[in-house]
Structure 1
């Protein structure tokens, strides 16, 4: 009887773990059209409109060594997200600004969301992760 209960518990644990693994995704972000080969690309993945451009869900940075680069975010729950990125050409850890309001360094967002009279809007940048592996491309 104890071995039957142990077998059932192990089965349920493995089944639950497999179900959770299927709800996660890998997101591959391709960055193209990098004009200046210097510094780093800093990428923020946001999981809600409330957090958009304020608090990342996950973030990565990668050294710029060519006109394209790729970053992979792993174990992302399926759902709605948006990406913001910029090229930190001088590697000082921040998006340099002119007069505190105009970016000096190149930046972009998912869906090539435009930045008109302010930063890109969540509604224009958001996308759904609904596959086990998803790829998006952003042009800098």
Structure 2
């Protein structure tokens, strides 16, 4: 049996193969946007630093996969991390109230500037672990961090 000449053309074969395999590709493999609202910041203008982590090892070593710095006004800020692959992520944020570019701490190592984590996770005398702060992103998601 001989195939029709039209089906033997490479471009047509490629198109047919793509049409047959398309339903087999994972729907969740599409990129998603993570929208973040940060509230309960200082009344005075400050700079918000936000870091995004994709796994526990990076979170523990402060190796973020993305980071943003945005102005906070009236204790609030909004930002977006676009095009994220599906998976689990954790966020850390702090409001730099004195403009020195770092989270200030007291002699005991406790933060003196406002900070927060995704899931509003809280640690016990330390930052919460990745599991406590992790959020699942399979599609566009909007979340909020309340600074403390």
Matched, 1:134 2:141: yes
**Which structure has the bigger radius of gyration?**
2
8 Å CA contact retained: 1:38, 1:90? no
1:67 and 1:7 map into 2 onto residues whose CA distance is 58
The alignment status of 1:23 with 2:30, answered yes or no, reads: yes
Residue pairs, 1:76-87, within 5 angstroms: 76-87=84-95
Q: CA deviation at 1:121?
A: 1.7
Greater percentage in strand: 1
Q: Is the 2:42–2:95 contact (alpha carbons within 8 Å) kept by the matching residues of 1?
A: no
* Shift, 1:91, TM fit: 2.2
* Distance change >3 Å, CA 42–CA 20, structure 1 → 2: farther
Q: Which runs of 5+ in 1 are unaligned?
A: none
Map of 1:6 onto structure 2: 11
Greater shift in the superposed pair: 47-56 or 94-103: 94-103
1:115 CA drift (Å): 2.5
Partner Cα separation in structure 1 for residue 134 and residue 57 of structure 2: 12
